[in-house]
């Protein structure tokens, strides 16, 4: 009986150790993927905001009549609209990319 008990304890211990290693590895990779995706999305958002702000600030150096014409065509909310549009599509592409990465990653583990 002690031999059977020792075998059961060894099997359960090795199973728990393997499960802990597997879940720890999976969690670490998932956290790393989420961190990278978040950083890339934040960088994309900042780049779009800087590009739009510099373009709008550059309009101050043009002829006043040209600036007035642009102001009639381009709404003051254009920067927010373009930023929202780009952010929405980048989120869609990011989701598809993340889904593909997760599928490939799940096949390797």
pLDDT in the model for residue 101? 78
As a whole number, mean pLDDT of residues 16-41 equals 74
How much is the pTM?
Answer: 0.45
| pLDDT tens digits along 50-59 | 877 777 777 6
**Cα–Cα distance for residue pair 89/74, rounded to 1 Å:** 22
Residue 44 CB-density burial (10 A; 0-12 exposed, 13-18 middle, 19+ buried):
middle
| pLDDT tens digits along 42-100 | 877 787 778 777 777 776 677 778 777 777 777 777 777 887 888 788 778 877 887 78
């Amino acid at each position: 009986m002690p031999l059977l008990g020792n075998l059961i304890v060894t099997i359960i211990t090795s199973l728990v150790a393997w499960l802990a290693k597997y879940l720890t590895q999976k969690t670490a990779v998932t956290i790393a993927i989420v961190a990278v995706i978040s950083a890339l999305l934040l960088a994309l958002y900042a780049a779009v905001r800087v590009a739009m702000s510099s373009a709008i600030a550059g309009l101050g150096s043009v002829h006043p009549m040209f600036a007035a014409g642009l102001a009639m065509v381009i709404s003051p909310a254009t920067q927010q609209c373009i930023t929202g549009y780009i952010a929405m599509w980048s989120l869609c592409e990011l989701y598809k990319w993340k889904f593909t990465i997760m599928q490939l990653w799940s096949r390797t583990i």
